[in-house]
């Protein structure tokens, strides 16, 4: 199956039994979204929506998810962003960088975004690993 370049979105109360290729289902009731991996492998991707997981933006016409979708646990290991219903492919990440990202995610959850500059020592209130993610995001948005 070829890579998906664009997704349509569908707001639902609960996810259907069959997840269609090229559709991003959003359940506000369960604060989550799901879709088939955009690489075409068919894996079902579930993204919980919360301050420490994914954030969904809906502008009345299109949907964006932040941060990126990194399918590191699947054989395809695909990595992409969903921005305004479009799939923007990212580079393949080395396992070391994936581990740094996971460490950052754990930090975010445990700190609740309340960590001070003194605790992290980075000068910006974020752990050193977050700089990589912010640089990546800035490159993709340009």
Map 33-95 to HEC letters: EEEECCCCCCCEEEEEECCCCEEEEECCCCEEEEEEEECCCCCCCCEEEEECCEEEECCCCCH
Same domain assignment for residues 32 and 77: yes
Both tokens of residue 1? 């199956």
pTM of the entire predicted model: 0.71
Share of the chain above pLDDT 70, in %: 76
Last residue of a domain, one of 89, 105, 126: 89
Report whether pLDDT(51) > 90.
Answer: no
- In contact, 42 and 57? CB cutoff 8 Å: no
On whether residue 42 sits in a domain, the answer given is yes
* Residue 140, pLDDT score: 53
Same domain assignment for residues 73 and 137: no
Same domain assignment for residues 33 and 83: yes
| Domains of the chain: total | 2
On whether residue 2 sits in a domain, the answer given is no
On whether residue 3 sits in a domain, the answer given is no
Mean pLDDT of 40-44: 93
Same domain assignment for residues 68 and 126: no
Same domain assignment for residues 110 and 130: yes
| Domain interval for residue 137 | 95-141
On whether residue 77 sits in a domain, the answer given is yes
On whether residue 67 sits in a domain, the answer given is yes
Same domain assignment for residues 71 and 123: no
Same domain assignment for residues 103 and 81: no
Mean pLDDT of 94-115: 70
């Amino acid at each position: 199956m070829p890579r998906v370049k664009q997704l349509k979105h569908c707001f639902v109360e609960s996810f259907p039994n069959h997840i269609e290729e090229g559709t991003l289902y959003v359940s506000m009731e369960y604060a989550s979204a799901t879709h088939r991996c955009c690489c075409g492998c068919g894996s079902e991707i579930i993204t919980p929506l919360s301050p420490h997981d994914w954030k969904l933006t809906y502008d009345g016409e299109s949907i964006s998810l932040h941060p990126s979708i990194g399918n590191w646990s699947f054989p395809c290991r695909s990595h992409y962003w969903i921005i305004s219903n479009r799939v923007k492919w990212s580079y393949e990440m080395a396992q070391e960088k994936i581990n740094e990202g996971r460490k950052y995610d754990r930090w975010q959850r445990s700190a609740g975004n309340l960590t001070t500059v003194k605790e992290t020592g980075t000068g910006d209130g974020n752990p050193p690993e977050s700089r990589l993610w912010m640089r990546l995001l800035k490159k993709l948005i340009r």
